[in-house]
Amino acid sequence: MTKEENIEFLKTVPISFYAVDEAHCISEWGHDFRPEYRRIRPIINEIGSRPVIALTATATPKVQHDIQKNLGMQNAEVFKSSFNRTNLYYEVRPKTKNIDKDIIKYIKNNEGKSGIIYCLSRKKVEELAEMLRVNEINALAYHAGMDSVTRSENQDAFLLEKVDVIVATIAFGMGIDKPDVRFVIHYDIPKSLEGYYQETGRAGRDGGEGQCITFYANKDLQKLEKFMQGKPIAEQEIGKQLLIETASYAESSVCRRKTLLHYFGEEYKHDSCANCDNCLNHKNQVEAKDELCAVIETIIALKVKFKADHVIDVMIGKKTNNIKSYRQDELEVFGCAENSDERKLNAVIRQAIIAGYIDRDIENYGLLKVTCSGQNFLKGPKSFKIVEDNEFNDDDEEVIVKSGGACAVDPTLFSILKDLRKKIAKKLELPPYVIFQDPSLEAMATTYPISMEELQNITGVGAGKAKRYGEEFLKVIKTHVEENEIERPEDLRVRSVANKSKMKISIIQGIDRKIALDELAASKGLEFGEILDEIEAIVYSGTKINIDYFIEEIMDEDHQYDIFEYFKESESDDIEEAISELGRDYTEEEIRLVRIKFMSELAN
């Protein structure tokens, strides 16, 4: 429409009125700002003045004002229906390392229902869609990076119910009117509450069930903030404010519906909606009258020039560079709430905004100001009860545990499996670790695999090992499960997508072509020890490889034989022990190479 020839053509056509769809795109504060929308009014003036209608499903008061101002519609009639979708259930869950398992379990508990899963990146869309298919969930991917034919085919397959689940970026859904989407899952927290409202709004359009599940971790917000770097400062500030509102929604223990509707300028007058996680899991209220008075006094003392985080820093007495530069550490309110924690003060501010005592000035990047109701509250304080915010701990770090039976859920089964391993090893005249290593037995005593397919999903058990040694182990596990009436944990038996990195695949291909390992290492930019690390990881995961061509070139037969026999008789595959036992005539690299040969030939 912005092209000159199109404008000239439209001048020749009789136009009765202009309809601007997705009108929120006209505002920088909308969740999908498009600068070209700002040209709509000048183009209309050029083509010829006619009535204008602007339509959107998601507009805060600020965005509504921008739409009217930019389209020259200040005096237009405004038709606004409620933002309340009573049939939608809202829930925010902590995002942990088990998120894939959580999603798979949820979908399997809602078998046959249509659903959309939103991810922020195309890569995650592809990975998750594949993960779901591996776990026998009928799912397809959809994102802007796919060719248009595949995209259309996948969209049609979802609409025609050939697949149950679409994993998508926000590119999916515009104009989709499938009435019976029963769940919308956000794998990542959305960039704004407008985006969240629009995407969750694709559930339950027929008035039936609509479950809206969002996974939240604070580190996702940090990631989104990093993505904004490099954009104009004003755009970064707006983006940060939108993220703050999203975080407030996720972390708050207040009714989700009340928070969401307040954001869109609508008051929800009920105390409980009975259809969100916060209302169904009531937290005890705590009195916060004194804290609210302190917040109001601090905002006034700071002359209404600062955001919530700065106000809280002053209240708890944190001497930041900003506070010192404004000499606010000399104010009477500095440290007035030093015994309160930040989380509680955040909750006070968020809930005071909903109650109308404080206002967040969106046009001034979220500066806090006190309303008339807030001034009156300070003059005559009354009870102000809040529910403290939900706590979301980022589940970043893996817990390091020692190996052994204590790591297994079922130590009795672990002991039985160790005895079986010893018996088989003795019969085959092999060290027990060659059959299955302890971590593999621990996993078996935790997930109870009873089929060959399930056994192959255990760490360190490839197809070769499973075929060679698996039958007896499966028989013992099955008997143990039946005799003890054990209910196997479904959520722990999630199949993972084969995770062979490009590096590992490339190394395997190089070995197949019999490229010398030192040359292969140099071509990958690796030290020789580093390529041995990679090859060991490949072999220990159950893949059989043959490096005889390289060993025979650099090592005489006697050396090979001595090291091979050592591992055959040893109770451990530890390199330090091998070096100590074999002596200085054998280098660490030689011992590691023969150990790779030994494990590949006898274990895989």
| Beta bridge pairs of residue 385 | 287
- Reported in sequence order, the residue ranges of 127-197 that DSSP labels E, i.e. its strands, are 139-142, 165-168, 181-186
Closest CA to 531 of 539, 521, 542: 521
Token duo for residue 559: 């050396």
Closest CA to 241 of 278, 192, 202, 207: 192
Report the pLDDT averaged over residues 551-560: 89
Confidence (pLDDT) at 30: 67
- Asked if pLDDT for residue 230 goes beyond 80, the answer is no
Q: For residues 400 and 436, is the Cβ–Cβ distance under 8 A?
A: no
Identify the helix (H) or strand (E) that includes residue 456.
Answer: helix 452-456
Confidence (pLDDT) at 113: 93
Between 233 and 425, name the one with better pLDDT.
425
Helix H, strand E, coil C: the string for 382-417 is: CCCEECCCCCCCCCCCCCCCCCCHHHCCCHHHHHHH
Q: For residues 388 and 347, is the Cβ–Cβ distance under 8 A?
A: yes
For residues 226 and 259, give the distance between their C-alpha atoms in angstroms, rounded to a whole number: 26
Confidence (pLDDT) at 404: 42
Token duo for residue 271: 């105390």
- Asked if pLDDT for residue 173 goes beyond 80, the answer is no
Count of positions (residues) in the chain = 604
Which 3 state secondary structure label does DSSP give 574? coil
Burial of 230 (0-12, 13-18, 19+ CB in 10 A): exposed
Of all residues in the chain, the percent with pLDDT exceeding 90 is 41
Confidence (pLDDT) at 537: 82
Confidence (pLDDT) at 504: 79
Q: Would strands 367-370 and 358-361 be described as parallel, antiparallel, or unpaired?
A: antiparallel
Q: What is the DSSP letter of 266?
A: -
Which 3 state secondary structure label does DSSP give 118? strand
- Work out the widest C-alpha separation in the chain, in whole angstroms: 96
- Asked if pLDDT for residue 468 goes beyond 50, the answer is yes
pLDDT in tens, 408-456: 567 889 889 999 998 998 888 888 888 888 888 888 888 888 888 888 8
Closest CA to 520 of 549, 558, 488: 549
Which 3 state secondary structure label does DSSP give 461? coil
Instruction: Find the range with the poorest average confidence among 84-88, 296-300, 442-446.
Output: 442-446
Identify the helix (H) or strand (E) that includes residue 542.
Answer: none
Between 310 and 59, name the one with better pLDDT.
310
For 153, phi then psi, to 5°, come to -60, -45
Q: Please count the CA atoms within 13 angstroms of the CA of 23 that sit on its side-chain side.
A: 23
Instruction: Find the range with the poorest average confidence among 367-371, 502-506, 591-595.
Output: 502-506
The neighbour count for residue 244, using CB atoms within 10 Å, is: 17
Confidence of residue 604 (pLDDT cuts 50, 70, 90): low
Closest CA to 441 of 464, 418, 470: 418
pLDDT in tens, 10-48: 888 999 999 999 898 888 776 667 788 889 999 998 898
Confidence (pLDDT) at 176: 66
- Asked if pLDDT for residue 236 goes beyond 90, the answer is no
The neighbour count for residue 484, using CB atoms within 10 Å, is: 10
Dihedral Cα 537, 540, 541, 544, nearest 10 deg:
100
- DSSP string covering 213-243: EEEE-HHHHHHHHHHHTTS-HHHHHHHHHHH
Helix H, strand E, coil C: the string for 37-99 is: HHHHHHHHHHHCCCCEEECCCCCCHHHHHHHHHHCCCCCCCCCCCCCCCCCEEEEEEECCCCH
Q: For residues 196 and 257, is the Cβ–Cβ distance under 8 A?
A: no
Q: Would strands 165-168 and 114-118 be described as parallel, antiparallel, or unpaired?
A: parallel
Q: For residues 362 and 239, is the Cβ–Cβ distance under 8 A?
A: no
Burial of 81 (0-12, 13-18, 19+ CB in 10 A): exposed
| Beta bridge pairs of residue 275 | none
Domains of the chain: 4-70 (no CATH), 88-279 (3.40.50.300), 286-386 (1.10.10.10), 405-492 (1.10.150.80), 502-602 (1.10.10.1390)
Contacts made by residues 262-271, CB under 8 angstroms, sequence distance 24+: 262/353, 262/354, 263/60, 263/193, 264/58, 264/59, 264/60, 264/61, 264/83, 264/197, 265/60, 265/61, 265/64, 266/82, 266/83, 266/84, 268/84
Q: What is the DSSP letter of 276?
A: B
pLDDT in tens, 105-133: 999 989 899 999 999 888 899 999 999 99
Closest CA to 182 of 113, 107, 253, 120: 113
Signed CA dihedral, 153, 154, 160, 161: sign only: positive
Confidence of residue 157 (pLDDT cuts 50, 70, 90): very high
Confidence of residue 465 (pLDDT cuts 50, 70, 90): confident
Residues 92, 95, 98, CA angle at the centre, nearest 5°? 125
The chain-wide mean pLDDT, for the chain, equals: 86
Q: For residues 255 and 272, is the Cβ–Cβ distance under 8 A?
A: yes
Helix H, strand E, coil C: the string for 314-367 is: HHHCCCCHHHHHCCHHHCCCCCCCCCCCHHHHHHHHHHHHHHCCEEEEHHHCCE
